[in-house]
Amino acid sequence: MKRFPWMSSALAALCAAAALVPATALEYDRARVAAGEVWRLLTGQIVHWTARMAVFDFGMLLGLGLWLELRGDRRLAVVTLALGGGLTALAVHALSPGLLVYRGSSGAASALFVLAAVRVADSPDPWTRVLAVAAVALFLGKAAFESLAGQLFAGPLPPGVRVVPLVHLLGGLGGLAALSSVKSVPPVGARRHRSPSADRCRS
């Protein structure tokens, strides 16, 4: 049961529940947040402007989350999601004062993407490490494209809606911020070394 992807299952359930609720009831709305509906800072990250955007974001979240969990990185993935969500809220509310309404989970997805690249870079295989570096370069290239084009890499947005590249960059920073805990969080199920003296004490 420790290997069961609890986090990914919870994300899938959250995605399904969000699809049943009108997006306007959950989206980030600056005026409503100022009026006290601070929960919209988080719920705005589980609703989207288009179905294609939702499939792209949730596909990244679920796919990367499942991969990380199955390799024993559940705790680290949860911390990264929390960091990505918090930094997304910071980017939307504090660092983008002209932004009135926001929808999208790409900040959290960016955090998991960068974390996954970092974990792949731990491989002793040099070609795998090259792949990890290429993935990070692709992420930065995507952010640059969205900044210049003013639209999502996943496809066009409705009229009047523009991409917020700062969300993706700060979300990716959340993945990098988890680097300090990568070495201190052993994979679930990893065997710890015991000294012979400890074995004698247990006999």
Rounded CA gap, 192 and 21, in Å?
46
Q: What is the pLDDT of residue 37?
A: 97
What is the predicted pLDDT for the residue at 195?
A: 42
Q: What is the pLDDT of residue 157?
A: 79
Decide if 190 is inside a domain. Answer: no
Task: Report yes or no on 85 lying in a domain.
Answer: yes
Q: How far is CA 179 from CA 85, 112, 146, 152, 154, in A?
A: 17, 12, 26, 27, 27
Residue 132 lies in a domain: yes
Range of the domain at 41: 6-183
- Residue ranges of the chain with pLDDT lower than 50? 185-203
Task: Give the alpha-carbon dihedral of 75, 7, 26, 19, to 10 degrees.
Answer: 160
**pLDDT value at residue 194:** 46
The CATH code of the domain that includes 24 is 1.20.1540.10
The per-residue pLDDT for 82 is 93
Q: Could you tell me if residue 202 is inside a domain?
A: no
Split into its structural domains, the chain has a count of: 1
In a domain, 196, yes or no: no
Phi–psi pair at 152, nearest 5 degrees: -70, 145
List pLDDT tens digits, range 4-45: 889 999 988 998 899 899 999 999 999 999 999 999 999 999
